[in-house]
Amino acid sequence: MISEELATFLAAGHSGHIATRGERLEPDGARAWAIVVDPDRIHVTAYVMKAAASGIVENLSSHPEVALTVDRVIDHVTWQLKGAAVEVRPARAGEKAEVVRQADGFIGSLEAIGISRRLTANWRYWPCVAVRLRVTEIFNQTPGPGAGERVK
Amino acid sequence: MKIALETLGPCFQGIFPSMLFTCSKAGVPNVALLSHVEYLDPTHIALSFQFFNKSRRNIAENPQALLNVYDPDTAQAYVLRVRYVRSETSGPTFESMNLRIEAIASHSGLKGIFKLLAADVYEVLSVDRSADEIGIAPAGGTRSAAPPDAVFTMKALQEFADRIHRATGLEALLDSILEALDQLFGFHHAMILLPDEQPGRLVTIASRGYPEDGVGAEVGIGEGIVGMVAEAMKPIRISGLVRQMLYAVAVMNRAQEQGLCRDSRRIPLPGLSHPESQLGIPLIARGELAGVLCIESEKPYRFHEEDKAYLEVLGGYLAIAIQNMLLRERIEEPDEPPAAHPPPPPARPAAGDGTRREIAFYAADEVILMDGEYLVRGLPARILWKVLRERERLGRVEFTNRELRLDKSLALPSYKDNLESRLILLRKRLEQRCPEIRIAPSSRGRFALDLACEAILVERP
């Protein structure tokens, strides 16, 4: 189960990336613009911009393995969740506000490390594909000795 | 349209974090942050291997990977499909990556922990633009390999050389170098460090573009980015220094948690309080380090490959100019001592209130404190103490460089004593900290001591 503290971290609007793999073990991935943790704190939903999600969607149709990494760019505290996709669907209109909020939070943190909003003005994060996964493993992925240590 | 890897040079400056996607043999994907990506040739890149992590284990099992990189000028993301080829633990690629990583490590107090284990070479199979992280239009409308503010024109280089040739002494030479870098090439914040008389240290001798000129600031060879340039005698260009420091600090925190790193001391950089880009150029003449030129900027991606290449070439020229000036000043020193000692003139009237200054020389440490605050140490301290004492005892106010060289109490090295640079340092430190005491050149190889205050000399063990 995802701790309450980690659930707050995941949904705070940091730098998210989702990884999948294809038939011949070729990895694919994209930015996850938002992450929502289910109340059961076992399932999470990652939101990937539809235009960047074709490889992921295709992979998940036959190989459900997913890795989801969230990095707080101001100090690189990073967590990785692993599990299996249980649902892939178009994101609903009612979910847009949360995606926008988290994406804006991430872009704001880039600004805090010197990457201006002028540069990121063309980044697009809607419409999205929602990938819901059941989390089975959690890793502390903060760079350094011991990075990748499993905590669940 | 196919995107050529060689057009993505700016993407490999580490300003945006890169992500590496891998997959284990068992089919479990992984995505992790990456420290450094280096361009090698039109079909290869190298990734830093610093820790035995899951990405590295996956690559050992399955060489396929995906990499995200970003153009720092436009924020366009690119997706690189790559295949692991080999790991290098020596050679130019490894050395180049290692130097940058060592510099960051040293700067953040992480030497020995934040280190490169190998440069992992990957073949780049395809490059695509990301469909969501879309960049803005590049400055000027088209992507150019040249930096936006390239200034190394033949005319500017000729003017640069002319200014150096016109310099009549070491101080004027150093000042003209920094002024020309600023006015001709737009490098507004720069400093020159020369080897100190204390082995293994560099001392700042001239600077431009800072609120305080920082003359006298020291850096150990091998410490920080400047110190690493001196140790390796190779240029180091760091972009996005804030981002790279954040990564290093994250590593340090992990290392401390695991008891691997107790010393969190950081080497304070002289210069800008928040430099985003640094370019360190070794000044090398005949295989010998004559100094280090350090240029800084608050822009994350200020120094391009062209800047580094031109300044590396100019660095050799500047090293010879500095060495020649030192030699010339020594050769042209007068043989005869100054005229008979007159009684000391009354002190110059002080600008304000008839100032008194306590000048304390701590003999064991060879340090001078002025009214309790650090002024200079080492040879500049010994020189100042000598001339102040001789003024007090004998009434002397004029001195020659030659007599300083012959004075055994000053213990100048017999070979390459760098006396001129020590005098410049002393003069500038006095200007900063105690303008009532001046050491002013009176003619070639001579200087005069001028006091506008009452100097209370105190010698302490």
pLDDT tens digits for range B69-121: 999 889 999 999 999 999 999 999 999 898 888 888 887 777 777 788 999 99
pLDDT tens digits for range A62-84: 999 999 999 998 888 999 999 99
Query: How far is B360 from B371, CA to CA, in rounded Å?
Result: 8
Average pLDDT over residues B150-161: 88
**Residue whose entry in the numeric block shows the structure tokens 């460089």:** B401
Q: The tokens of B173 are what?
A: 């030479």
DSSP SS3 for B232? helix
Angle at the Cα of B148 from the Cα atoms of B143 and B151, rounded to 5 degrees? 140
B76 compared with A148, residue with greater pLDDT: B76
Confidence of residue B414 (pLDDT cuts 50, 70, 90): low
Across the A:B interface, residue pairs with CB atoms under 8 Å apart total: 165
Most distant CA atoms of chain B, gap in Å = 91
Quote the DSSP letter at residue B344: P
Sheet containing B454-460: give its strands across.
B373-377, B367-370, B356-362, B454-460
Sign of CA dihedral B108, B112, B114, B120: positive
Beta bridge partners, A133, equal A44, A85
Confidence of residue B249 (pLDDT cuts 50, 70, 90): confident
pLDDT tens digits for range B302-351: 888 888 899 999 999 999 999 998 888 777 766 666 665 565 666 655 44
pLDDT value at A141 more than 80: yes
Non-local CB neighbours of B293 within 8 Å, separated by 6+ positions: B177, B190, B191, B192, B280, B281, B283, B311, B315, B318
Cβ under 8 Å to B: A residues 74-93: 74-78, 80, 82
Tell me which chain A residues have a C-beta less than 8 angstroms from the C-beta of B66: 26-29
Closest partner residue to B54 (CB to CB) among A77, A125, A148 is A148
Average pLDDT over residues A9-27: 96
Tell me which chain A residues have a C-beta less than 8 angstroms from the C-beta of B77: 31
pLDDT tens digits for range B257-269: 766 655 444 434 4
B51–A69 CB contact, under 8 Å: no
Beta bridge partners, B24, equal none
The 3-state secondary structure of B120-137, one letter per residue: EEEEEEEEEECCCCCCCC
Is B216 within 8 Å of B428 (Cβ atoms)?
yes
Average pLDDT over residues B14-19: 84
Q: Which chain A residue lies closest to B78 (C-alpha atoms)? A: A30
The predicted structure's pLDDT at residue A71: 94
- Give the helix ranges, DSSP H, for B39-130: 54-61, 92-107
Query: How far is B195 from B226, CA to CA, in rounded Å?
Result: 12
Q: Which of A10-14, A123-127, B127-131, B433-437 has the lowest mean pLDDT?
A: B433-437
Average pLDDT over residues B430-446: 88
pLDDT value at B63 more than 70: yes
pTM attached to this predicted model: 0.75
Is B118 within 8 Å of B89 (Cβ atoms)?
yes
Length of chain A: 152
Beta strands in B25-76 (DSSP E): 29-34, 37-41, 44-49, 64-70
Average pLDDT over residues B354-369: 89
- Give the helix ranges, DSSP H, for B273-377: 305-331
pLDDT value at B140 more than 90: no
pLDDT value at B147 more than 60: no
The predicted structure's pLDDT at residue B264: 44
Q: Would an 8 Å CB–CB cutoff place A57 in contact with chain B? A: no
The predicted structure's pLDDT at residue B283: 96
Q: Strand pairing of B18-23 and B454-460?
A: unpaired
Q: Would an 8 Å CB–CB cutoff place A31 in contact with chain B? A: yes
Query: How far is B106 from B116, CA to CA, in rounded Å?
Result: 13
The predicted structure's pLDDT at residue B90: 94
Q: The tokens of A134 are what?
A: 């059941």
